[in-house]
Amino acid sequence: PWRKRAHSGTDGGTMSEAATDFPRITRRTLHDEVLERVRDMIIEGRLEPGQRINEGLIGAQLGVSRTPMREAIKTLASEGLVEILPAKGAVVRKFSARDLYQVLEVLKALEQLGGQIACAEASDETIAAIHALHRRMLELYATRERLEYFKLNQAIHSAMVAASGNQVLLEMHGTLQSRIKRLRFIGNEGPEKWAGAVAEHEEMMAALLKRDAPALSAAIGKHMESTLTRVRGVL
């Protein structure tokens, strides 16, 4: 958030002056760029479950050597999106309905706990920042920018957990959330499914803004159960 700071005047006194603290600009590394591109290819289905990842071919398409491709694949394997198999190399991971159910059950518990703590302890500025992400997500939904919508949607889930201030909770949530990104993305295929997910996010945000922990927990539970239904139908 932007802040106002007091500055000393030239006469030695102190004057109140509006000053803006802008967020620092971070430079993305080649690894970050390649990682995001390959991850997006998996999420959007351009690399399908069970498909071997041809490092040379995809690297050539992206205009990079094998080294950054291998680094990206290692990261994706740690996220659970890719498996390294003997004699086959890197393969896009396949998930069963049981895998999905188990991950979503744990994600639901983690997000409900994070939401409960956030309602009690998060600052007004933190909640306002999450609400701003939600409004931007609705703008992307209105223009049907699906991949960017999805990324922001996932960022909101992470932000609500992060608002708890519990780093262990955030790390566990991040690991599991990364693992089923492709499945959650396809869960919004079709206008009715997508609209349903947006409506559930509206309920979650309304509860968070009121700091109503029981209502937020119920909304998160509903959202996760609906996600399971939406995704299971297209597995």
The pLDDT of residue 197? 93
The pLDDT of residue 10? 41
pLDDT-derived band at 17 (thresholds 50, 70, 90) equals very low
In whole angstroms, what is the distance from residue 68 CA to residue 5 CA? 43
The two tokens of residue 7 are 């500055």
Q: Which run of H or E residues covers position 228?
A: helix 213-232
Cβ proximity of 156 and 133 under 8 Å? yes
Question: What pTM did the predictor assign?
Answer: 0.76
How many residues belong to the chain? 235
Q: How far is CA 179 from CA 17, 31, 66, 71, 222, in A?
A: 47, 19, 24, 18, 21
> What are the tens digits of pLDDT across the range 24-55?
556 779 999 999 999 999 888 889 989 999 99
**What is the Cβ-side half-sphere exposure of residue 192, based on CA atoms within 13 angstroms?**
3
Percent of the chain scoring above 90 in pLDDT:
66
Helix, strand and coil in the chain, % to nearest 5: 65, 5, 25
Position with higher pLDDT, 73 vs 179? 73
In whole angstroms, what is the distance from residue 37 CA to residue 172 CA? 24
The pLDDT of residue 12? 45
In whole angstroms, what is the distance from residue 101 CA to residue 96 CA? 9
What's the longest Cα–Cα distance across the chain? Answer: 75
CB atoms within 10 A of CB 13: 7
Place of tokens 């500055």: 7
> What are the tens digits of pLDDT across the range 118-157?
999 999 999 999 999 999 999 999 999 998 999 999 999 9
> What are the tens digits of pLDDT across the range 75-130?
999 888 899 999 889 999 988 888 889 999 999 999 999 999 999 999 999 999 99
> What are the tens digits of pLDDT across the range 182-203?
888 887 788 899 999 999 999 9
